[in-house]
Amino acid sequence: MQLRHISTISEQQDQQLLSKHNLIDNYMGWTYSKKSLFDLASSLCRSEDIVFLRDHHRSHGDIIEFSNKRFYEGQLRVATNYDRLRRINNTEPAVRWINIKGKSIRPSTGGAVNEIEANAVVDEIKRLQRQNYRGSIGVVSPFRAQANLIEEIAYNDPLLNNWITGVDFLADTVHIFQGDERDIMFFSPVVSAGISRGAISFLKNTPNLFNVAITRARAALIVVGDQHAAINCDISYLSQFASYAESLKHNQEHTLFNCNQDLGPRYPIVANPEQVSEWEHIFYEALYNTGIRAIPQYSIEKYTLDFAIFDGDRRLNIEIDGERYHRNWDGELCRRDQIRNQRLIELGWDVMRFWVYQVRDSLDYCIDRVKLWKNKTKPQG
């Protein structure tokens, strides 16, 4: 789902070169005007010999998660080292949509441009300047006219001109950013009232442009545009992403509650009960009977924890690995667990895992381990 190569020769020139070098009969598949090097290589080997690069190290999990689900069938493993991300601050979300309506027009050069949206992008860059942000900054748009307008507004601002040069600033189209990245990326979709059918058709047929655009960001992705228009547009991936950004905002606004609340002696109602095993019910009730209050199915970032326990500033994640999970446990699951545990540790969590056979055969031992953690004694084993 990356961008294809841009051929500098026409199909006719391609055919003439193949003919000149006597390659027509045996090497018709080597037509550079139509085929990339990857296309050629993948056609010459077995499908099982193609290696999928699973581990993603560039972006914050919230940034890459949409593309992971929408374009890569959830195959990516987010292995980003968050300590290296140059965040704006610790409270600002990694994905943020700034809702700006404006009006799109079709310039004489083609494409689409939205001046109000462009000015709003520059206003956000000025906000970073006031905060003395020192990371790199990029602005990407699927339309050349919009990228040029944002660049022009930014560089024509005397207070902004020198500063953006010092923070490795670039405003351009998606093709220029392929293979590149920035700490903070602004995305200007230009999908708003007045956008032409041709522009909509162009976006509908180029989902890979969008995938590349939003995955250039390392620490923060800030979308500036008409969110209502994006949600209701006829571009499926953009509509889904606008809803995804809204869901992240909703989740962040509703995760603040009493972490030590009493949910009662029976396993409470959760959002996805089909994902909960009977052993989790048993474990929850055993914890409750010993005076330990656990929160089942606790969400943090892109993870759902089987149990979360809070003790002042200390936080414990408990996972009950089920029988089906146990039988299918292989190198892939092991790697995903390692990445997950590492991220939780980075966030300040302790992690404790039990197999279901431990809960079944040694429930008291499992509860004692949690008690030891609660009493600030490091459990053995």
pLDDT tens column, 17-48 = 999 999 888 888 888 888 888 888 888 899 88
Contacts of residues 165-168 at CB distance under 8 Å and 24 or more positions apart, as own/partner, are 167/133, 167/134, 167/135, 167/136, 167/137, 168/136, 168/137
The rounded distance, in Å, linking the Cα atoms of 280 and 264 is 15
The alpha carbon of 180 is separated from its chain's Cα centroid by a whole number of angstroms, namely: 16
d(CA 367, CA 369): 5
d(CA 34, CA 110): 25
Which pLDDT does position 216 carry in this prediction? 96
Q: Is the pLDDT of residue 308 over 90?
A: yes
Residue % of the chain over a pLDDT of 90:
65
Q: What is the pLDDT of residues 96-124, one digit of tens each?
A: 999 999 999 999 988 999 999 999 999 99
Give the pLDDT band of residue 238 (cuts 50, 70, 90).
Answer: very high
Q: Which of 115, 107, 102, 98 is nearest to 196 (CA)?
A: 107
pLDDT-based confidence at 325, cuts 50/70/90?
Answer: low
Cα–Cα distance, 293 to 284 (Å, whole number): 8
| pLDDT over threshold 80, residue 52 | yes
Nearest Cα residue to 149 out of 207, 183, 180, 109? 109
Q: Is the pLDDT of residue 217 over 80?
A: yes
142-168: average pLDDT: 95
* Mean pLDDT, rounded, for 327-347: 76
Binned at pLDDT 50, 70 and 90, residue 326 comes out as very low
Q: Which two tokens stand for residue 241?
A: 């992403």
Mean pLDDT confidence for 275-295 = 94
Cα separation, 200 vs 229, whole angstroms: 12
Fold of the 273-374 domain: Endonuclease; Chain A (3.40.960)
In angstroms, rounded to a whole number, what is the distance separating the alpha carbons of residues 38 and 54? 17
CATH of the domain spanning 55-253: 3.40.50.300
Where along the chain do its domains lie?
A: 11-49, 55-253, 273-374
